[in-house]
Amino acid sequence: MGLVRDSGVSRLGRVILAEDDDDLRHLFARELRAASLEVVEARSGAELLDRLALALAESPDFSSIDLVVSDIYMPGYNGVEVMTGLLAAESWKPFVLMTAFASSALRKEALDRGAVAVLEKPIAPALLRKVVVTTLSMPARRSRVA
């Protein structure tokens, strides 16, 4: 994916970042913004759904969002539920999921349901940045990073 012009600012892409830990969310958002990404933050699964609804209002095909990065376990809806709902609505966007409670079964379920990567916390901000940039540079199809 190339640079996109948005309000006169060059950016690599627009990412929704959903993480219920405020400090971690701010740390990850800073790292992604340093990579010329526009970051929309969400504090819960419900707020993630609100952000996605706003994106849908902006563009019915979700073209205003390039990628979703979400914690799996958050208040309200979890990251896998939101991702699965978008897939059911055929509104697929790449999802990178994060969790501190990874098991091989959870990882397999998330990947089988459509995640392009499942990252285990603690996650170095630079690793998250690399996975996001790599995912955004892939052809627009359901490819897996990790």
Residue 38 near residue 62 (C-beta atoms within 8 A): no
User: 145 vs 9, 49, 75, 93, 119, CA distance in Å?
Assistant: 27, 24, 27, 14, 10
Quick one: pLDDT at residue 93?
82
Look-up of token digits 């896998």: 80
User: Domain residues of the chain, as ranges?
Assistant: 4-137
Statement: 4-137 belongs to CATH 3.40.50.2300? yes
CA-to-CA distance for 92 and 138, rounded, in angstroms?
15
pLDDT digits (tens, 9 = 90+) for 8-42: 444 689 999 999 999 999 999 999 999 999 999 99
What is the reported pLDDT for 145? Answer: 55
Taking only the tens place, the pLDDT of each residue in 48-100 is 999 988 888 888 777 888 999 999 999 888 899 888 887 777 667 899 999 99
Query: Is-cis flag, bond preceding 75, omega within 30?
Result: no
2 band by pLDDT with thresholds 50, 70 and 90: very low
